Amino acid sequence: MHKIFYRFIFIILGLIYSEIMDAQLNYKEGIIITNEGDSIKGLVNDGGFDKNYRYCLFKENSRSKATKYYPHELKAYKINEEKYYVSKEVEVNNINRYTFVEVLLDGNISLYYYPAMKDLSYFLEKNDKLFCLKNLKIDIYPSRYVYGPVIIIETKEYIDTLRTIFHDSKAVKSYIGQVQYNHESLIAIIRKYLIDTDTNDVKIFYQKNMRLSKSSVGLIAGTQVSQMKFTENKTTSNVVRSYPVGLIYSHPLPIFNEKLCFQAELIYYKLSSYEGAYNIINTDSMTHISYKSNYNVVSIPFMLKYYFFKKKLSPSVGIGKESGFIINSDFNYSSITYYHDKTISDLKRDDYLLYNFQKGWFADIGLDYKISSRFTIFTNIRLQSNQNLIIPYKNFNHYTFNSAYKIDTKYDKTYEYLFKNYFVGLYFGIKFR
């Protein structure tokens, strides 16, 4: 089973690497608007968080040659109804230059986002005039005679800017002080202003769907089979079935790649009746050893997941690291030694435990099906390997995981057995935003 696991890991890593390297081929239906005002439909590359602000890669159909447009060469471009970029002259590193900015709200008042500088990320446009919404940060260092941490203060200059722009709305003025420097809060205050001041002529042509980049939480359950393998004598146990259940948290990572997301899980499962046996043959004897183990695991896996495309049906691959906490473990073994003089020695031990922490790696392939904008069901197949140690109870409180590899002599070692578990699991679940 372990050979299958490592081959699977290499395949997953290769798929993720090749897909990320080929992100420039991520074409979607879209439209470009030239400086003359002409709209041309075709395929627009969704190059990810950084590339979309620097240039637009466009081709009229799948067979035509791609053309790269820089901000001064286009008025705007759209990728499906997911993303909308316009060309604006903004100040970047104290230099005014044209760049693509993302449209968060397009209407009587428009809101744009440009993440190159975190303190100067938002721009508001009213009556063809562009305002920069600033939120500069100031570091206040403690006195040379007083020990203390550096204090970071947000200037929140954007609050004063909003008060100036929205001075003609009494209803909005009382809310401006509560506005946060993020997408949702700024969009909300602009919409409130438009409704209050333009009751008969509220025009909102476009608003970014924030749910596409929001985190999701969900439930996960499944079934898995596993096998215990001892690294010293290469023996394996029987195959045991278990039923993991838990919670998941998924967060997209558009700053690196639009198809990449981080996923954390909290899973519980019970492993019962690991059993096995092996023989040790010496010159004057043969020893038959049998063992049985039971334990519970609270597992915390962290994973990077890559979606090949984000549609109603979305296949994915992932790789991650698992840390698990062992609860209520026991390990019992018995040995019978047969000597050449026909004497027999019988020994039973029940004073062993599994160390209370295990670690390992896993990889999976999955498939998501989007029921609606808020709900998604999914399934995935996961291969996992983790390792732990079986130690005498008397050494339990004097043990650290890393010491096991240093103290490994024939006559003196902290642990008794080093083993690995190999899992193959089928999972199902539901996520909601």
Angle formed at CA 343 by CA 342 and CA 347, multiple of 5 degrees: 135
In this structure, is residue 35 part of a structural domain? yes
Q: In which residue are the tokens 């197949």 written?
A: 381
Range of the domain at 229: 213-432
For residue 228, what are the contacts with CB-CB under 8 A and spacing of at least 6? Answer: 236, 237, 274, 276, 293, 419, 420, 421
* Same domain flag for 81 and 111: yes
**Interval 398-414 mean pLDDT:** 45
Query: Based on the domain organization, do 276 and 205 belong to the same domain?
Result: no
Any domain includes 159: yes
Whether the predicted pLDDT of 411 surpasses 80: no
Same domain, 252 and 188: no
Q: Which residue has the higher pLDDT, 393 or 173?
A: 173
Query: Does residue 251 sit in the same domain as residue 105?
Result: no
Q: What is the DSSP letter of 402?
A: T
Query: Closest Cα partner for 54 from 27, 77, 26?
Result: 77
pTM of the model: 0.68
Mention every residue, 6+ apart, whose C-beta is less than 8 A from residue 57: 24, 44, 45, 47, 66, 67, 68, 69
Task: Flag whether 18 is in a domain.
Answer: no
Question: Do the bridges between strand 83-92 and strand 74-79 make them parallel or antiparallel, or are there none, so unpaired?
Answer: antiparallel
**195 lies in the same domain as 233:** no
pLDDT in tens, 213-235: 788 999 999 999 988 887 766 77
Share of the chain above pLDDT 70, in %: 81
Kindly state whether residues 41 and 67 are assigned to the same domain: yes
Phi-psi region of 264 (alpha: psi -120 to 50; beta: other; left: phi over 0): beta
The total number of structural domains that make up the chain = 2
User: Does the residue 86 lie in any domain?
Assistant: yes
Which residue matches tokens 């409704």? 195
In a domain, 68, yes or no: yes
Q: What is the pLDDT of residue 414?
A: 47
Residue pointed to by tokens 């709200």: 105
Identify the pLDDT of residue 6: 55
Is residue 144 situated within a structural domain? Answer: yes
Same domain, 257 and 363: yes
Residue 136, domain member (yes or no): yes
- Bridge partners of residue 103, in order along the sequence: 112
In a domain, 16, yes or no: no
User: Do 110 and 252 sit in the same domain of this protein?
Assistant: no
Nearest Cα residue to 35 out of 105, 79, 86: 86
229 and 333 in a common domain: yes
224 and 149: one domain? Answer: no
The better pLDDT of the pair 366, 173 is held by 366
For range 363-382, the mean pLDDT = 90
Residue where one domain finishes, among candidates 163, 191, 210: 210
Q: Residue 54 and residue 147: Cα distance in Å, rounded?
A: 44
3-class state of residue 14 by DSSP: helix
Is 218 found in the same domain as 136?
Answer: no
Lowest mean pLDDT among 175-179, 190-194, 235-239, 345-349: 345-349
- With beta carbons less than 8 A apart as the criterion, state whether 1 and 424 touch: yes
Q: Which of 151, 184, 210 is the last residue of a domain?
A: 210
CA distances to 227, 262, 295, 383 from 242, rounded to whole Å, are: 11, 26, 11, 14
For the segment 279-326, what is each residue's pLDDT rounded down to a tens digit? 777 777 777 777 788 889 999 999 999 888 777 888 999 999 999 998
Please check whether residues 174 and 283 belong to one and the same domain. Answer: no
* pLDDT value at 367 more than 60: yes
- Point out the domain boundary residue: 210, 232, 260: 210
Q: Which two tokens stand for residue 44?
A: 């627009």
SS3 of residue 393 by DSSP: helix
Mean pLDDT over the full length of the chain: 81
CATH of the domain at 341: 2.40.160.20
Query: Percent of the chain beyond pLDDT 90?
Result: 35
